[in-house]
């Protein structure tokens, strides 16, 4: 009886629930029955009322969910973060991840280099013990050739390791200037501002030089170094102007073709095919006189036909298939990256492994798209990295950008940690019609220079290739793809 009586006078919310047969606590306020005692399992009417008022004014998303009977958070009642802020955070995370990967690569490269040095020292000691007559100077030279780059800082100092050695010319720290320029571009990308092609390339650590709107246009401190940079990259190496005989042959064929005597122009080219000194020019002119017909306009053809008619006459004459250089078909994937397909590429096999060394991107005159300069920079950076990952110490790769009838030839090097330079070394033109054959003189000279540069680079890589490249820790992959 006493227990039943206490239950009847219990003012707790659970009492009202059991009394009225509800399965959950009935939270409406009930009239109190006389004086009430505060216990751990009960609430006074005043405290309970204040709790109810607090629930009604609670601004949390969970309050709205419970109040409106939803099973998930009612997100429409709360303002969400702006998409721009989320994109900035995402890009910042990607940048931090890239930095971490680079630091790990640097540490791994140091460890591998130390192991290579120890192996080289052990071999030298063994050879000296077996052959006492061997001079110590030769062993020191072999050691220095294996380790041309020795960092002055400990591996724990990651930031310093990433910046040494700097790219310095005549006391000017070009690495610092270019890295500051990249930082400005990165800040613009975080605020989703429009980036020029040069700025987008800088985000990938590729710095465009020696053309309009290049890094000189953005970094005023570089302008004083422009002439020295041209000398540094040796852009005139292997370039040779056409001889008098070559110039005369081009002018004679161009004059005959312009006068409408196509057969005479073709016979002039055929007559010099057996002349060793004029063979390249005669082959190119013969192909051009065959392809260029007054019955059609090159400005209206598609990309594939434009390559066959206007570009291939020079490619076939200057870059024939050989044991050093082989050509792949149109839109063949890059070696090691099946997602990127240049319009044309040349590769070489070194120790049984294929390496792309020359790429061509073409936009025909009828194309309404922008040129593929950014795409070409990404492709060149990837094939350069592949050379280094397979043991090349100071490789260079080349690319040709054809936009309409203009051709630009580029060279890419890795000159310092995270500093890729893409230098325009030559510009030439394709004939617009049969009356425009005089441009063949400079175009063939430019393509002959390109051929000699590519072949020299293939030979140097094959002769100086190591098991582990000394600049492996300098490498970084593009962080922006060609669609961005």
Residue at which a domain ends, from 17, 43, 77: 77
What is the total count of domains within the chain? 3
Looking at per-residue pLDDT, the higher value among 276 and 484 belongs to 276
233 within a domain of the structure (yes/no): no
Residues 6+ apart with CB under 8 A from 419: 167, 174, 175, 178, 179, 205, 207, 474
Residue at which a domain ends, from 104, 130, 164: 164
238 within a domain of the structure (yes/no): no
Q: What residue numbers bound the domain in which 404 lies? A: 244-474
483 within a domain of the structure (yes/no): no
pLDDT, tens digit (0-9, with 9 covering 90-100), for 340-376: 999 999 999 998 899 999 999 999 998 888 879 999 9
Same domain, 71 and 86: no
Would you state the structure tokens that stand for residue 272, as one six-digit string? 């010099």
- Answer whether residue 208 shows pLDDT above 90: yes
Residues 6+ apart with CB under 8 A from 367: 303
Same domain, 54 and 91: no
Q: What phi and psi, each to the nearest 5 degrees, are found at residue 345?
A: -150, 155
Same domain, 307 and 396: yes
Same domain, 156 and 43: no
Same domain, 412 and 279: yes
225 within a domain of the structure (yes/no): no
Same domain, 28 and 145: no
205 within a domain of the structure (yes/no): no
Alpha helices in 58-82 (DSSP H): 61-68
Same domain, 374 and 283: yes
Same domain, 18 and 114: no
Return the C-alpha torsion angle 257, 259, 263, 268, nearest 10: -60
- pLDDT of amino acid 227: 83
- pLDDT of amino acid 258: 84
- Answer whether residue 465 shows pLDDT above 70: yes
Same domain, 71 and 9: yes
pLDDT, tens digit (0-9, with 9 covering 90-100), for 64-89: 444 444 444 444 444 554 566 666 66
- Answer whether residue 477 shows pLDDT above 80: yes
Residue at which a domain ends, from 133, 164, 195: 164
Same domain, 371 and 253: yes
Same domain, 444 and 342: yes
Q: How far apart are CA 360 and CA 408, in angstroms?
A: 10
Same domain, 72 and 97: no
125 within a domain of the structure (yes/no): yes
The reported pTM is 0.69
């Amino acid at each position: 009886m006493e227990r039943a009586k206490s239950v009847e006078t219990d003012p707790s919310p659970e009492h009202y629930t059991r009394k009225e047969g509800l399965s959950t606590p009935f939270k409406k306020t009930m009239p109190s029955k006389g004086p009430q005692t505060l216990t751990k399992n009960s609430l006074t009417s005043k405290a309970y009322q204040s709790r109810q008022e607090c629930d009604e004014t609670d601004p949390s998303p969970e309050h709205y969910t419970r109040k409106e009977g939803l099973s998930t958070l009612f997100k429409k009642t709360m303002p969400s973060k702006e998409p721009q802020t989320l994109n900035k955070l995402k890009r910042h995370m990607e940048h931090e991840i890239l930095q971490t990967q680079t630091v790990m690569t640097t540490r791994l490269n140091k460890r591998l280099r130390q192991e290579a040095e120890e192996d080289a020292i052990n071999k030298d000691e063994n050879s000296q013990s077996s052959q006492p007559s061997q001079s110590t100077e030769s062993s020191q030279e072999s050691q220095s050739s294996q380790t041309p780059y020795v960092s002055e800082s400990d591996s724990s100092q990651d930031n310093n390791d990433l910046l040494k050695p700097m790219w310095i010319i005549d006391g000017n720290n070009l690495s610092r200037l270019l890295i500051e320029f990249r930082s400005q571009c990165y800040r613009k990308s975080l605020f989703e501002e429009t980036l020029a092609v040069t700025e987008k390339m800088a985000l990938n650590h590729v710095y465009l030089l020696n053309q309009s709107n290049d890094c000189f246009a953005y970094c005023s401190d570089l302008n004083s170094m422009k002439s020295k940079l041209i000398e540094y990259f040796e852009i005139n190496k292997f370039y040779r102007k056409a001889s008098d005989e070559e110039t005369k042959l081009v002018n004679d064929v161009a004059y005959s073709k312009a006068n409408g005597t196509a057969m005479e122009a073709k016979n002039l080219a055929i007559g010099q095919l057996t002349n060793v000194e004029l063979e390249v020019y005669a082959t190119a002119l013969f192909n051009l006189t065959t392809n260029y017909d007054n019955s059609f306009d090159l400005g209206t053809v598609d990309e594939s036909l434009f390559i066959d008619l206007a570009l291939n006459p020079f490619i076939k004459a200057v870059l024939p298939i050989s044991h050093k250089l082989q050509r792949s078909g149109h839109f063949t994937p890059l070696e090691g990256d099946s997602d990127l397909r240049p319009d044309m590429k040349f590769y070489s096999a070194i120790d049984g492994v294929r390496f792309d060394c020359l790429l061509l991107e073409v936009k025909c005159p009828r194309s309404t798209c922008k040129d593929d300069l950014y795409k070409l920079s990404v492709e060149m950076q990837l094939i350069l990295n592949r050379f280094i990952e397979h043991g090349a110490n100071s490789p260079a790769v080349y690319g040709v950008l054809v936009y309409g009838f203009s051709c630009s030839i580029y060279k890419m090097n890795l000159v310092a940690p995270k500093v890729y330079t893409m230098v325009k070394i030559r510009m030439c033109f394709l004939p617009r019609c049969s009356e425009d054959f005089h441009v063949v003189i400079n175009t063939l000279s430019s393509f002959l220079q390109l051929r000699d540069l590519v072949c020299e680079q293939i030979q140097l890589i094959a002769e100086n290739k190591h098991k582990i490249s000394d600049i492996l820790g300098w490498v970084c992959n593009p962080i922006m793809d060609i669609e961005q």
